[in-house]
């Protein structure tokens, strides 16, 4: 059996990649994908811990996370389509009219 630590380590790596992606990429779509990576790294950790503790709490939480992520992306893509219609861009730096 693969020890839990390995999974946790992998999930930490994925989480970090996700965070870096959100902070450095400028296309809103890629930012969404990076956020998905963050959520899925949490899912991996939850499932691994769930196996370690030998009960299903973590696995159930994983289903909720998947559902929530889908709902969030649905709203996010709708917004993105709206922004693209008016601005012809999905670059988050160009959609920045407010400062201060």
- Give the Cα separation of 3 and 35 in Å (integer): 26
Q: Check binding of 53 to another protein (CB under 8 A).
A: yes
The binder of another protein chosen from 19, 27, 30, 33 (CB under 8 A)? 19
- Give the Cα separation of 95 and 37 in Å (integer): 24
- Give the Cα separation of 97 and 45 in Å (integer): 39
Bridge partners (DSSP) of residue 27 are: 91
Task: Give the footprint of another protein on this chain (CB under 8 A).
Answer: 4, 8, 11, 15, 18-19, 22, 28, 31-32, 35, 38-39, 41-42, 45-46, 48-49, 52-53, 55, 57-58, 60-61, 64-65, 68, 71-72, 75-76, 79-80, 82-83, 86-87, 92, 95-98, 100
């Amino acid at each position: 059996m693969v020890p839990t630590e390995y999974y946790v380590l992998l999930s930490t790596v994925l989480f970090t990649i996700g965070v870096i992606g959100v902070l450095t990429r400028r296309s809103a779509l890629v930012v969404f994908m990076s956020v998905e990576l963050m959520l899925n790294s949490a899912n991996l950790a939850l499932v691994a811990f769930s196996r370690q503790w030998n009960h299903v709490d973590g696995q159930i939480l994983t289903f909720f996370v998947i559902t929530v992520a889908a709902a969030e992306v649905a709203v996010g893509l709708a917004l993105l389509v709206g922004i693209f219609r008016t601005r012809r861009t999905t670059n988050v730096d160009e959609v920045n009219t407010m400062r201060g």
